[in-house]
């Protein structure tokens, strides 16, 4: 008989890769197949080191700026999107580029352009410094968009034309925090124009809902994801707010058995950029110390698939 302590493991579904991540990785793989290595990628294609390392092994070279791409080399832009200046510079240099921006991020880009063309000033709800925020700000001329990170920021706004505002949001925010910020915006600026809800994507909101369903049943929760992955960090917060201790881990060896002391029911999920093989790795690591009883808790089914860019569709 096994002497291992029992551990009930509730695994969230949906978890892990979303349609935008699948598409972005496929774009890099196909570019390497079609054009040959090396294919340059501007910024981590998605925020996950294991995805990045796997693509490096296939011939991708990751750089932060376009100026680090040599003349004549093909380049892919990451799923998070880029300011308009980036494809413009690539064109000016005659670089062959592919855009792996998630279509749900591109949708926000076009809304931003349209709103500014209609003369509105945009209040953009997002996290300062995140590449998606930098990319979306880069769709419109300087001064036409203002960042709002918190409810307190809303109170401090002093727009020139308070009746001519619109709001948009980053795709990977906390559903609950964003609802509060939008409510504050609508209270202060009753004529503000905005999307029906917000621009948080289906994958972000489904993964948060799954965590909220599981966390109250758990003593603790592990979220697989990278420290620079916004959607993964939001899952840690969602679990904590739902009453579970929560921790972000990048892979199996990050599991801290000391931290798990006294835990009899553990929740497990993965951010939109974390591959499923890491979920298996974490479960295997847990099985070194516990008699793990796995159960999948499904709160939604996802069937979203995004088309590849036209240049790659024939492949
Ligand atoms: O935006 P975030 O930091 O969550 O990016 P990610 O690469 O972890 O997840 C997928 C995406 C996008 C856009
Ligand atoms: Fe697109 Fe959402 Fe996935 Fe980001 S998390 S790549 S916005 S589907």
Residue 308 lies in a domain: no
Which regions of 218-311 does DSSP assign to beta strands (E)?
Answer: 220-224, 245-249, 265-270, 290-298
List the CATH number of the domain containing 46. 3.40.50.11270
Tell me the C-alpha distance between 109 and 209, whole Å: 26
**Which CATH number goes with the domain that contains 129?**
3.40.1010.20
- From the CA of 231, give the closest atom in ligand 1: 4
Cβ of residue 174 lying under 6 Å from some atom of ligand 1:
no
Give the helix/strand (H/E) hosting 62.
strand 60-63
- Kindly state whether residue 49 falls inside one of the protein's structural domains: yes
Whether residues 224 and 276 fall in one domain: yes
Active site residue ranges: 132
pLDDT in tens, 4-33: 999 999 999 999 999 999 999 999 999 999
pTM: 0.98
pLDDT in tens, 88-119: 999 999 999 999 999 999 999 999 999 999 99
Final residue of a domain: which of 188, 220, 241?
A: 188
Closest ligand to 136 CA?
A: 1
Binding site membership of 19 for ligand 1 (Cβ less than 6 Å):
no
User: Mean pLDDT for the chain?
Assistant: 97
CB-based contact 193:115 (threshold 8 Å): yes
Residue positions in the annotated binding site?
A: 18, 47, 80, 102, 130, 171, 201, 229-231, 273
State if residue 236 touches ligand 1 by the CB under 6 angstroms criterion: no
For residue 243, give the 3-state DSSP assignment.
coil
CA distances to 28, 41, 47 from 37, rounded to whole Å, are 10, 11, 22
């Amino acid at each position: 008989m096994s002497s291992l302590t029992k551990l009930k493991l509730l695994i969230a579904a949906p978890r892990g890769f979303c349609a935008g991540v699948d598409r972005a990785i496929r774009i890099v793989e196909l570019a390497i197949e079609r054009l040959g290595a090396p294919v340059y990628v501007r910024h981590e294609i998605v925020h996950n080191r294991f995805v990045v390392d796997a693509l490096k092994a296939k011939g991708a070279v990751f750089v932060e700026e376009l100026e680090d791409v040599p003349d004549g080399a093909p380049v892919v832009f990451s799923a998070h999107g880029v300011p308009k200046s980036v494809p413009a510079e690539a064109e000016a240099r005659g670089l062959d580029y592919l855009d792996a921006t998630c279509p749900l991020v591109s949708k926000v880009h076009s809304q931003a352009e349209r709103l500014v063309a209609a003369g509105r000033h945009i209040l953009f709800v997002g996290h300062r410094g995140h590449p998606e925020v930098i990319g979306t700000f880069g769709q419109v001329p300087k001064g036409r968009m203002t960042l709002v990170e918190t409810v307190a920021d809303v109170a401090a706004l002093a727009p020139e034309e308070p009746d001519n505002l619109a709001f948009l949001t980053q795709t990977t925010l906390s559903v609950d925090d964003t609802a509060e910020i939008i409510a504050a915006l609508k209270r202060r600026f009753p004529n503000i124009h905005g999307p029906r809800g917000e621009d948080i994507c289906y994958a972000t909101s489904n993964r948060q809902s799954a965590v909220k369903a599981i966390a109250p049943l758990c003593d603790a929760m592990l979220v697989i994801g990278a420290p620079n992955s916004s959607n993964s960090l939001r899952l840690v917060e969602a679990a904590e707010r739902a009453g579970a201790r929560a921790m972000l881990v990048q892979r199996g060896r990050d599991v801290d058995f000391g931290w798990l002391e006294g835990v009899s029911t553990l929740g497990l999920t993965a951010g939109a950029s974390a591959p499923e093989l890491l979920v298996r790795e974490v479960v295997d690591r847990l099985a070194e110390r516990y008699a793990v009883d796995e159960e999948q808790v499904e709160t939604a089914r996802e069937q979203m698939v995004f088309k590849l860019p036209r240049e790659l569709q024939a492949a």
